[in-house]
Amino acid sequence: MKNFSKKAFALAVTAVLTVSMAACGSKDSSDNTSSSQTANSTAAVSTADTAQKKVSLVLSTNWGEGDSKYNYFYPKFQEFQNANKDSMDISFETYSTEDYKTKIKTQISSGNLPDAFTYWGGAMMNVMVEAGLLLDIDEYFKASQTVKRENFEPSSFSYYTAADGKTYGVPLESTRGVFLVNTEIFKQNGLTVPKTYDELKQVSKVLNDKGIIPIAMASSGGTPSEFFFSELYNQYNGAADELKNLTASRKFNTANAVKVAANIQDMINNKMFPKDTVANGGWAACLQLYTDKKAAMTYTYPWMFESIPEEIQKISEVVPIPKLPDADIDPAAIMSGFTVYGFEINKATFNDPEKHDAMIKLCDFLASDELSVNLSKSGMIPAKKVNVDMNGQKVIYQKMMAYAADKKLIQVHFSTMPSLDALNMFDSSLDELFIKALEPQAFVDKIQAVLDKNSK
């Protein structure tokens, strides 16, 4: 965490010392000297007064060092902070993702949220809405002279729209799920990229015999398995509507959910995933198997592109996930795509007359075209309507966007699950499903039980 309030303190101390020295020196001075020192003293007091009138704000994010977006966000933030150093004193707080979630939960309980902070919407946002802590962002759009709601893709606001119909977050990041294959491994082993489940089983057998993991997919805290589950889920008739209506229907226990769970366990039985799905779970661990060429395929998201070496990007192709044996919809026609991240505004701070204008300026920076374009270099797909020069993007980013051009974008459980408790149960139960500690129906029932309990 970096705190920039030290500058304001230093200015104040300097001013006080200047006043004190002027006062002491005036005792034995002539009238002219005294007049000059009085002027200096007045100027010093004015400087101190200016420093005291600085608006102090807290900006929090999980885009800290080690996160893919840090190198693209922080330099721009420094520019903004320096440009406004005479009027704003911004404490910049960063945490790892899981620590950040814990920190925000604690601050929700105390009612002491940061003034502006990047965060998720959906179930993770709702508790703050219910507590009355977040600003309806239409109030921000009304106040801003440079940022308006129509500057963003209309669909991007759904993730931040609560049950009351109001929107409580400014969307920044859209995303796409990508299934990657290492074409070099396939070529070296005389294999063709599988399009059907039967072909996937045959390819997996050959790869296993060669000591190569077929698909780098596992589950630790539900990652990245929860997104993979949703991608498979959308291969079934009715699944898209079930996901779209999940927030209102609170129905996870569907025939489609059981089918996906059963197919995942069949994939495990056919040794398509790493043996230890917990140890190899998590975004980084799964991708590492792929980038180390220990796995021939993987499923990931653009926020991980920064961790894919350029040589691996060049030999990777984005392809459809093979069609499941009982699926109805061709996976080559669909792709998960949704708003996944943005920023939220502390209502109390925004409505504070002394901080209102500074908050608008800070939010304008976070929602600026320049910042969105710069963050796209990390793999982020801007939710804002901006022009991104593809020639300046990573090879894998260019491949993803070309592949996505003709695909129907679908939702995922992460963005439509009604409650945080249900989402947490979904994640932990996936860990159990992947180690075969739960049967498919029992897996589905555990999640539904939480949804039923929360609806009472």
Spatial separation of the C-alpha atoms in residues 13 and 27, rounded to whole Å: 23
Has residue 125 been placed in a domain? yes
144: containing domain? 55-174+339-392
Same domain, residue pair 333 and 210: yes
Please give the share of the chain, as a percent, with pLDDT higher than 70. 88
Predicted local distance difference test score (pLDDT) of residue 66: 85
Average of per-residue pLDDT across 376-400: 95
**Residue 30 domain flag:** no
pLDDT of residue 1: 38
Mean pLDDT for all residues in the chain: 90
Which CATH number characterizes residue 356's domain?
3.40.190.10
Residues 326 and 408 in one domain: yes
Give the model's confidence band at 38: pLDDT under 50 very low, under 70 low, under 90 confident, else very high.
very low
Tokens coding 116: 């502006």
Torsion angle, alpha carbons of 237, 242, 245, 249, to 10:
140
- pLDDT by residue (tens digit) across 79-98? 999 999 999 999 999 999 99
Let me know whether 311 and 225 are in one domain.
yes
pLDDT more than 90, % of the chain: 86
Based on the domain organization, do 311 and 346 belong to the same domain?
A: no
The pLDDT of residue 274 is above 80: yes
Tens digits of residue pLDDT in 211-239: 999 999 999 999 999 999 999 999 999 99
Token pair of 228, please?
């993979």
pLDDT at 19: 33
Map the chain to HEC letters.
CEECCHHHHHHHHHHHHHHHHHHHHCCCCCHHHHHHHHHHHHHHHHHHHHHHCCEEEEEEECCCCCCCCHHHHHHHHHHHHHHCCCCEEEEEEECCHHHHHHHHHHHHHHCCCCCEEEECCHHHHHHHHHCCCECCHHHHHHHCCCCCHHHECHHHHHHHECCCCCECCEEEEEEECEEEEEHHHHHHCCCCCCCEHHHHHHHHHHHHHCCCEEEECCEECCEEHHHHHHHHHCCCCCHHHHHHCHHHHCCCCCHHHHHHHHHHHHHHHCCCCCCCCCCCCCHHHHHHHHHCCCEEEEEECHHHHHHCCHHHHHCEEEECCCECCCCCCCHHHEEEEEEEEEEEEEHHHHCCCCCHHHHHHHHHHHCCHHHHHHHHHHCCEECECCCCCHHHCCHHHHHHHHHHCCCEEECCHHHHCCCHHHHHHHHHHHHHHHCCCCCHHHHHHHHHHHHHHHCC
On whether the CB atoms of residues 366 and 169 are closer than 8 A, the answer is no
Instruction: Give the pLDDT confidence score for residue 102 in this predicted structure.
Output: 95
Residue 5 in any domain: the answer is no
Name the band, by pLDDT with cuts 50, 70 and 90, for residue 454: confident
Report d(CA 138, CA 142) in Å as an integer: 6
Query: How confident is the model over 351-384, as pLDDT tens digits?
Result: 999 999 999 999 999 999 999 999 999 999 999 9
Q: Indicate the residue among 370, 392, 414 that finishes a domain.
A: 392
Task: Note whether residue 20 is domain-resident.
Answer: no
In this structure, the answer to whether residues 103 and 181 fall within a common structural domain is: no
Would residue 24 count as lying in a domain? no
Taking residue 324's Cβ as centre, other Cβ atoms within 10 Å add up to 23
How far does Cα 278 stand from its chain's mean position? 23
For the segment 154-161, the average pLDDT, to the nearest whole number, is: 95
Tokens matching residue 255? 């025939």
Taking CA 115 as the corner, what is the angle to CA 152 and CA 283, rounded to the nearest 5 degrees?
65
More confidently predicted of 1 and 128: 128
pLDDT in tens, 85-143: 999 999 999 999 999 999 999 999 999 999 999 999 999 999 999 999 999 999 999 99
What is the pLDDT at residue 431?
98
Asked whether 287 and 267 are in contact (CB, 8 A), the reply is no
Looking at 373, 392, 411, which one is the last position of a domain?
Answer: 392
303 and 200 both lie in a single domain: yes
For residues 191-207, average pLDDT: 98
Do 182 and 326 lie in one domain? The reply is yes
Which CA distances in Å does 411 have to 17, 157, 245, 246, 439? Answer: 61, 13, 11, 11, 25
What is the CA 440 to chain-centroid distance, rounded?
Answer: 29
Q: What is the number of domains present in the chain?
A: 2
Residue 42 pLDDT > 60 = no
Model pLDDT for residues 302-311, shown as the tens digit of each residue: 999 999 999 9
Residue 43 in any domain: the answer is no
Domain end: 372, 392, 412, which one? Answer: 392
Phi/psi zone of residue 22: left (φ > 0), alpha (ψ -120 to 50 degrees), beta? Answer: alpha
* Cα pseudo-dihedral 161, 227, 309, 207, rounded to 10: -170
With respect to residue 301, please indicate whether it lies within any of the assigned structural domains.
yes
Which of 269-272's residues contact partners 24+ apart within 8 Å by CB, and which partners? 270/201, 270/204, 270/205, 271/204, 271/208, 271/214, 272/200, 272/204, 272/214, 272/215, 272/217
pLDDT of amino acid 10: 36
| Contact (CB, 8 A) for 316 and 179 | no
For residue 13, being part of any structural domain is answered with no
- Predicted confidence at residue 182, as pLDDT, reads 98
Does position 456 have pLDDT exceeding 70, yes or no? no
Q: 129 and 183: one domain?
A: no
| 39 pLDDT more than 50 | no
The encoded tokens of residue 354 equal: 């002394």
Mean pLDDT of 59-81: 94
What pLDDT does residue 412 have? 96
251 with 104, same domain: the answer is no
Q: Strand pairing partners for 152?
A: 384
The verdict on 182 and 165 lying in the same domain is no
Distance CA 81, CA 50 (A): 17
- Taking CA atoms, 75 is separated from 147, 306, 381, in Å, by 21, 17, 19
Cα 162 to Cα 144, 167, 305, 401, distances in angstroms: 22, 6, 31, 30
Looking at the fold, whether 380 and 433 belong to one and the same domain comes out as no
Q: Are residues 101 and 202 in the same domain?
A: no
